Chains A and B, each alone.
Chain A
Amino acid sequence: MPRISEMPDTLFDGVSQAYVPPEKLRISDRLKLHREWEQNIDPVTYEVIRHNLWNINEEHGATIQRISGSPIAMYALDLNPSLLTEDAEFIYFGPYMQYMSGVTDTQVKWILENRSENPGIQEGDMFLANDPWVGAAHQMDVMLICPVFHEGELFCWVTNCLHQYDIGGITPGSFCPAARDAFDEGILIPPVKIVENDVVRKDIEDLYLRSSRKPEMVALDFRAQLAGNISARERVLALIQRYGPRTVKGVMKQIINHAEKAFLNKMSKLPDGVWQERTYIEACRPGDRRTHRVILTVEKKGSTLSFYNEGSAPQDGAMNATYSGWRGSVMVAINELLCWDQYFAIGGALRHIKFDPSPGTFNCANFPASVSTAPVQAMEISLYPAYNAISKMIFPDPQMRKDIFCIGGTSQWPATIFRGIDQWGERYGYLLIDPIGGAIGAFSHADGINTGGQARTPICQLPNIEHTEQSFPLLFLYRKEIPDSGGAGKYRGGLSAESCFIPHNTELITQDTLSSGNALPTSPGMMGGYPSTTNQYQFLKKSNVLERMHAQNMPEDIGELEGKSVTLQLRQENFTQLPEDVYAVRWSGGGGFGDPMDRDPAEVQADLENFLISPNAANELYGVVLTADGEVDTALTEAKRSEVRRNRVNGGQPGHRSGKIILEAAEYLNVKQDENGSFWTCAKCDADLGDLKDNFKDHCQLEEKEISRSNPLIGDPIDFIDDQVVYRQFYCPGCGTLIENEVAIASDPILRDILLRM
């Protein structure tokens, strides 16, 4: 499928095709932009105003949380405020739900292009919007966008986005896993003027609320969004009053220029090349047993980064995202890996980033594809590979290397969507929020963070079990971290957890599943690190749990119980859970970094003592032999690890080619140069791994294993998909070090994950 850049005749206007802003915006003459600013601002004034602008945006987010008070705003922090220049460049973007970044500037640009003439953009206006083809992750993410004027000229924009409880569609809560297309989903609102001359237009508000099953909640959230924008607008105006418009605007532009400079500085330290990651989605609709390929490519040429999704599966079923959803996903990884030091001032970096996906793919879907599940599926799966790809790109610089981390937990969200009559006799519907506990993948220099949250929502709150049990008729048997759930590695990935519950004080619960990443792991490790566990649903019908409870013998794991085990499919609808039916949900953990055989045996021992890994994993994956007292047997461990490495080499005959190291390309990969050109070598033993133009993997010893050998918790993929899955390991033919791993559908070729152009 062609890329956007290869479709010059197609109109990307946000109607049938996603809106892709042109280089130069077409803005009506009716709208005057404030375009004059101070170039020379003294460093003190700059810093004072910069701090103030950051705080304005933070206070904006806090105001929304205060007024909304909804669990979505307060726990999941599924919101984000932004501050943009008059021409829609990001000045600041908040630290909450990172997805929302990619959808904010496109919305504002669309408004500038499509609303500046009719109905016009004036002082005291605000626009409501949620159309994913204009710019929204999915229909529930409703934006309120407010222009800020100074003396008749558009000075800047303050905007916010907040996930709504319910915005219509065939499933309560508006996540519609069985939607055929967008017409089965929540209301679509291209930007519409809902506040005019500082007055809320009642007609538009009524129209907005009419489709919701929870109009009173949506109305209150709208008030929160309104108050957030007003507070931010007032404070920007107060700054202008005090320092003058030219100075304030000058600082805004400088923040972006500084962030741009920081980004360019980083780019200047990295080689040109192409980095690629591949993963898969399982089941796009009920009954689907296929896998759907996901490819994320980042290309660096000089100071420009280009992102592509070419090779990703076509749009299908209810698994899709739009252009802005995909772009927002990739921007999360850019923000966290490349822009964290500039407080998310991503506008500067964006001047040098091209997003060039192929329309018609599942993560750049055309209208009217179903997109309501995007944030928990298509966007997660677009985002997480970006961590690995960008991490590999920045590895060569020793400073940036410290910022690397592997794909984290909940890289696909195993949703548990349930409904019924609660213990108070009222109707309810909900999605279990526990997987937000996530895990953070391993760093290049340290272990990942166990249940460290989801990287895409750096600050979020996991509800207490007592909170969930108060609101819903559930009794949790356990919520626990799972040993071995983090990927093995020189640095171990963070552990994920599992929640297990039965219905309580209700007759039954009606359940839907919505998941992917149950057959094959979606948090693979990096540079020799192993994958984390897959997602897992376990469902035990007619169990003996109630007898166990009566006997004062509570289970600590669903495996201790007897009953009829049912394999739940990934989009199973309307199944019933009775009080004796036990349901356990495990989410994926963080990927590991580096060859586990390189892990310090003392760390392996500590992991055992802290129940982070199993004795079996210590032996099989880490090659550590313990004495009867549980101490590391140094000699036996050394011997075992040598044997493992010897077996990996398996008689391989590495060449050696002398030359000068010109780049540390990955944990175990150097690039050397001699008079015949550049070539890959093993960073540990110096074995020759082929010319730089080759895929180094072709010069490694390849071993193909069953995917269940990559992590002790991974089962047989046949339960969910028909494709054959393979775990490929690429060893150095000289020393047997595990240089890289690959999780792949067997028919897919070996991936070229690093291609350097130097």
Chain B
Amino acid sequence: MTSYLCGIDIGGTFTDCVVVDQAGTVITAKAPSTPGNFTNGMMAALTAAAEKLELSPEKLAQSITHLAHGTTVGTNAVVQKKGAKVGLITTRGHNDVIHIMRGSRGLSGRDVQKVVHFAESSKPDPIVPKRLIQGVSERVDCFGKIVVELNEEEVRQSIKRLVDQGVEAIAICFLWSFLQPLHERRVQQMVESMAPDLFVTCSSELIPKWGEYERTTAVALNAYIGPETTAYLRKVEEQLSQLGYSSPVQITQCAGGTIAIERAVKAPLLTLDSGPVSGVMGAKYIGEAMGYSNIITTDMGGTSFDVGVVFKGEPAFSFHSLVNQYEYFLPKVDIQAIGSGGGSKVWIDEVTGTLRVGPESAGAVPGPVCYQRGGRVATVTDADVVLGYLSPDHFASGTMQLDKAAAEAAIGEIADRLGMDLYECAAGIVKIADFQMADLIRKVTIQKGFDPRDFVLFAFGGAGPVHAGVFARELGVQKIIIPQRDTASVWCAFGSAAADILHISDQVDIMSSPFDPARLNAVIGNLKTQALEQLIEEGVQAEHQQFRFTFDMRHKGQIHEVEVEIDGDQIEAAQLEPLRTRFVVNYEQLYGKGASLPGAQLEIVAVRCRATAQTPKPHIPAAEVLTEKIPESAVRRPREVHWPDLGPKNDTPIYDGHQLVPGNQISGPAVLELEMTTVVLHPGQHLTVDAWGNFEIEL
């Protein structure tokens, strides 16, 4: 019997489904997303895929051996601030941890002008109000030693008070619980017995890391999205099982792999932001097939601009995340939100009379002027329309008519005030936006030790390929790749399907050099045992199991930590010196040559285990025949486009991107229109459709 791999990803508009058979043949299908009851859209997408395979949905479900699903339920709850009513139990005296935060009002990632303008820099609403935070007597010290035993009577009263106030979930975080989790586990048991219907989560189980603010925030957020995510996932599981799917449902997580649904219902936090991560994983996967190991991914939409990095075939990681100004611990593929996309507003600094773009965004509503949704402030997208980059008739496959006259009026008003010509002004706006993006991408790559010249750039998102031609050139990357094969959004589903099962677990054990291999091996052994249990529980065969171990290391007395991998699952005394060398290499890669202190004492802060189980991979067949001739059906009627270097060009070639075939080559100036995006090919640039159907632009 044929068996299948399946990835299903829910986006804002569409739910995408990718099915891959043993031969690697890929089938994609999509259905409209159904907010309020996302499982309906999910089942519709699966049914659509079954139809393409000429199977019944039941037959398909029974034949799927591995189903990975990406959900945005948790992310939506956080963004819309509609999470559960959470109670928090913590160490007595430390109730205010998430209210005090860490000094800068959680401002990392925000525009610096807002940071210094105090009237605009207030703290976010707390996830848990003070009256729902209960401190109980207990204490552990920095050696993990219990200094004060848990006062269970106080715990009982606290749980009762929270239940009486109607909480829907309880989060538990004690100081130093990552070294000594006993007290947290005991409180969790007590909650489970006193209030069995509540969602309960404790920090040592979720994210046993050093730093109580970020750990408490993580566990509070986990509780905040817990009840809704859990209910949703259970429903998914139930419906799939009714169809006949029998393996564990795998859920896409933000660390770039999948976890079994049993883990996801306990740690829904791991699903936060998993959607964009799947895009990076998809890029990594296709990059591998194409022979690129260094990739900058850019996803530029109407309201957001996200950047990720794949270096030497591995996605760049972060262990510190940010949402609504809350900072929290979470191992995740690092995606930096650096701007506001095509919706960036254009404005004139009234006093100085200078032209400015962003960082304020018109958002999706009211959006750019040309969207005709009530937006009155010109945006970058309006400038794109004025220049003719975007076709008023073919935007989003013609599902949305753009009002070019309104865009011209809005940009024209700005041009008049600056004494510029309409097109000169529109081109100027686009140039400012493109150069800003180059500056910002540079910031998030160079500052992490990555030199853009060593990378290719993948451009996703509705607005990405419109602008990538310039910002990628400014950045100095080698080439631009615009992944094809249906739409970019399917890549997320593809990323899910391509992802391995992944469990990341940390144990903090702070030790100074010279290191004691026995102590390290004990920690490694402990982590391995736990991870192994998890994989066995999920039914992963021994031959598919893989374990990698890394240390978070730093100079003693300093802050920066870098991750250093060891060979195998043991460390011997003889490996300690090579370990120091690896640390220095990694440190200087990240922080710059000469940043390391020769001969300084080192610290290991944590040991990390990545347990993976490889899943069968979709195979991406390359076209055997490359065709230079551009199909007739790909050629659309030329139109007028205003190129900054050439001026108005009435006969700019326009192509239907979906009709192009591998081997086609196009020289700029030209515009390629696709279902969800538009590729702007500037004069002098050269585009090739490669053997996989992707567009490559040489710079």
Contact = CB atoms under 8 A, between A and B. Distances in A.
A452 B175 CA distance: 23
A258 B93 contact: no
Interface in B114-163: 115-119, 121-123, 129-131, 135, 137-139, 141-143, 147-151, 154
A268 to B, nearest CB: 11
A505 B143 contact: yes
Contact of A611 (B92, B117, B130, B554): B130
A504 B103 contact: no
Interface centre among A262, A437, A466 (most CB of B within 10 A): A466
B148 A609 contact: no
A48 B355 CA distance: 10
B643 interface: no
A449 B559 contact: no
B148 A403 contact: no
B235 interface: no
Contact of B351 (A43, A265, A549): A265
Interface string A460-489: 111011110110000111111100000000
B22 interface: no
B443 A58 contact: yes
Contacts of A609: 131
Given A44-B428, A48-B432, A343-B113, A69 B118 contact: no
Nearest to A481: B96
A452 B356 contact: no
Interface in B581-603: 590-592, 594-595, 597, 600
A554 B95 CA distance: 13
Contact of B94 (A223, A465, A552): A465
A452 B142 contact: no
Contacts of A481: 96, 99-100
A40 to B, nearest CB: 12
B105 A44 contact: no
Contacts of B141: 469, 475, 504-505
A43 B103 contact: no
B119 A475 contact: no
Interface stretch (B207-215, B257-265, B393-401): B207-215
B420 interface: yes
B352 interface: yes
Interface residues of B, number: 84
B595 A69 contact: yes
Contacts of B149: 552
Given A478-B94, A480-B93, A549-B147, A55 B443 contact: yes
Interface string A505-543: 100000000000000000000000000000000000000
A282 to B, nearest CB: 26
A462 B99 CA distance: 12
Contacts of A451: 99-101, 103
Nearest to A224: B595
A71 B558 CA distance: 6
Contacts of B592: 63, 66-67, 227
A522 to B, nearest CB: 18
Contacts of A308: none
Contacts of B443: 55, 58-59, 62
B555 interface: yes
Interface centre among B97, B148, B446 (most CB of A within 10 A): B148
Nearest to A459: B104
Contact of A555 (B93, B116, B211, B558): B93
Interface string B421-448: 0000001100110011001001100110
A370 B669 CA distance: 68
Given A47-B355, A453-B105, A470 B119 contact: no
B551 interface: no
Interface string B550-577: 0000110111100000000000000000
A438 B123 CA distance: 13
A69 B115 contact: no
Nearest to A47: B432
A556 interface: yes
B432 A553 contact: no
B418 interface: yes
B119 A403 contact: yes
A111 B416 CA distance: 46
B99 A464 contact: no
Nearest to A444: B119
B516 to A, nearest CB: 14
B93 A554 contact: yes
A554 B139 contact: yes
Contact of B435 (A52, A459, A464, A470): A52
A137 B107 CA distance: 26
A599 to B, nearest CB: 18
Contacts of B154: 552
Contacts of A479: 93-94, 96-97, 100
Contacts of B91: 554
B354 interface: yes
A409 B100 CA distance: 13
Contacts of B355: 43-44, 46-47
Interface in A319-364: 335-336, 340-344
A95 B116 contact: yes
B115 A458 contact: yes
B99 to A, nearest CB: 6
Contacts of A449: 105, 118, 121-123
Given A44-B428, A48-B435, A461 B176 contact: no
A721 B327 CA distance: 43
A262 to B, nearest CB: 4
B357 A217 contact: no
A440 interface: yes
Given A62-B447, A261-B352, A556-B135, A55 B210 contact: no
Interface in A239-269: 258-259, 261-262, 265
B568 to A, nearest CB: 29
Interface in B437-463: 439, 442-443, 446-447
Contacts of A554: 91-93, 135, 137-139, 148
B122 A452 contact: yes
Contacts of B112: 58, 95, 343
Given A67-B595, A610-B131, A452 B210 contact: no
A340 B113 contact: yes
B287 to A, nearest CB: 27
Contacts of B357: 47
A43 B100 CA distance: 43
A67 B94 CA distance: 33
B47 to A, nearest CB: 49
A466 B119 contact: no
A458 B104 contact: yes
Nearest to A335: B116
Contact of B118 (A75, A220, A336): A336
A344 B112 CA distance: 10
Contacts of B420: 43
B102 interface: yes
3 tightest A-B contacts by CB?
A478-B93, A44-B428, A258-B352
Given A66-B592, A452-B118, A552-B149, 5 more contacts: A44-B427, A449-B121, A464-B212, A467-B211, A475-B141
13 contacts: A47-B432, A51-B432, A55-B439, A69-B555, A342-B352, A344-B116, A440-B118, A459-B104, A464-B102, A466-B211, A470-B142, A549-B148, A554-B92
Interface of A: 42-44, 46-48, 50-52, 55, 58-59, 62-63, 66-67, 69-71, 74-75, 95, 216-217, 220, 223-224, 227, 258-259, 261-262, 265, 335-336, 340-344, 402-403, 405, 423-424, 436-438, 440, 443, 445-446, 449-453, 455, 458-462, 464-467, 469-470, 475-481, 497, 500, 504-505, 549-550, 552-556, 609-611
